[in-house]
Structure 1
Amino acid sequence: MIVPREAQTPAAVAEHYDELDPFYREVWGEHVHHGLWQSGRETPAEAVEALIAHLASTLELQPGQHICDVGCGYGATAEWLARRYAVRVTGVTLSSAQLRQAQARSAASSLLHFSRQDWLENDFEDQTFDHVIAIESSEHMTDKQHFFDEAFRTLRPGGRFAVYAWLARNGARPWEERYLLEPICREGRLPGMGSEAEYRAWAGKAGFVVDGFEDLSTRVRRTWALCTGRVARKLLTHPQYRRYLLDAHARNRIFALSVPRIWIAYLTGSMRYGLLTAHKPR
């Protein structure tokens, strides 16, 4: 696993998303995750929804099922699933800024519930959920094995677990780790970035049966070309973005460097993006 030189705590992750709240919503959008380009002709908004739809199809969601969205962000993905599949979604986030946006959605739907808590110390009872999903949140977990263990504990027998994850290339070379992967972890407040092999091992140790893994790297990397362009335009046209980058008190301003770095990591194959699916035996 790629581990940053500076330890990243849950508090640092929360601060990252709270401080960069306007940046994320303006540059990345309300879903705060990759888009999935299947035909190559999708708009960014269509690609973002395609990523959720692909997950829903994989899980074969049924009306009335209860889903936990680990690292739910602003609640947009949970709202999309509840509206289209009539499922109940419980979301957790570390960020106060994200929770405020998510709770505005839950106020309009009895199918949605959100709370601010650390998944690794969650208060859910055993066998609460039919499905547990994590869309680009496992990277922020300080203990990856415990992340899988908690998913297994809170799932009902037969329940399914689906994880979209940022991954390091298996056997990343020293230059990839030094110039791309370690800085991405440090700048993005990721306590560690695992590989496909490690994710499979953590799932198995937790008790899951791994159903499959899809490498979607080439179908999602356009996200970062778009984000890099958006950041560049914001810097050119919005003085507040330039002031933020020069503000010595802005602890997370360095993340602006990670936007093009992540794009390069995808182009070189140093970084991968995958969907791991597993189930809890009956």
Structure 2
Amino acid sequence: MSQVPKTIDPAGQMMIECAACEGIRIAWDRLEAMQPQCGFGKLGVCCTVCAMGPCRIDPFGNGPQEGICGATAQTIVARNLARKIAAGCSAHSDHGRAVAEALLLAAENPESGYRIKDERKLRRLAEEFGIPQEGRSAEQVAKDVAEACLREFGKPHGELVMAQRAPEPRKTIWRELGIMPGAIDREVVRLLHQTHMGVDADPKNLLLSGMRCALADGWGGSMIATDLQDVLFGSPKPVRARTNLGVLRPERVNVIVHG
């Protein structure tokens, strides 16, 4: 492996050097072995959408300027970016779905191991979703909030509830551009459909749809995950803590939570 420092974190750099001494291959070793990387792929002008590919566009204008289906470099780059957005949205949003299911479990099963730790935030969310609260327990309200959040993934019509938090001028722009997000799963499916061969080849239109899917992520799945985790585990607050690899103790059993 190259001796050039791989990180500005001294602890991380120390572990990289330790791995090298132990003969343990890590990401930087694999990156080095991969050189030189594919120039077409790095520029985003390689398309693997259909089975007739892969197609690649010559960025210098000497070789092919269209894929087999006729897609230009601009179309291929836009499709590739849009598909990455769809993948990211699906990952974040499925996380949010799992948290909503955990809240539903906490509401319906006292033995689940989950419980509501921030009732104030739960009731603020209930108000946002138009859920009645008077005379109802936290668990009853939580059940309705969880089910309302789960409906945000697949409802057939309407805008995302949490997207209404955005400033009015911003929402006006989104609606004028046609990128105000609807159901989260629908936005992912629509974008994957739109980027397939023979559907949409307009780079501008593809990028606008990518923006709509990204908004479904940020103002949908990710926001649902954040808010419902606060309800279940408590809203975060500043605390003093020890971090980094130095917290590990060789004489103890170290449990690392990763995710």
Superposition TM-score, scaled by structure 2 size? 0.22
Larger Rg belongs to: 2
Superposition TM-score, scaled by structure 1 size? 0.21
Higher strand share: 1
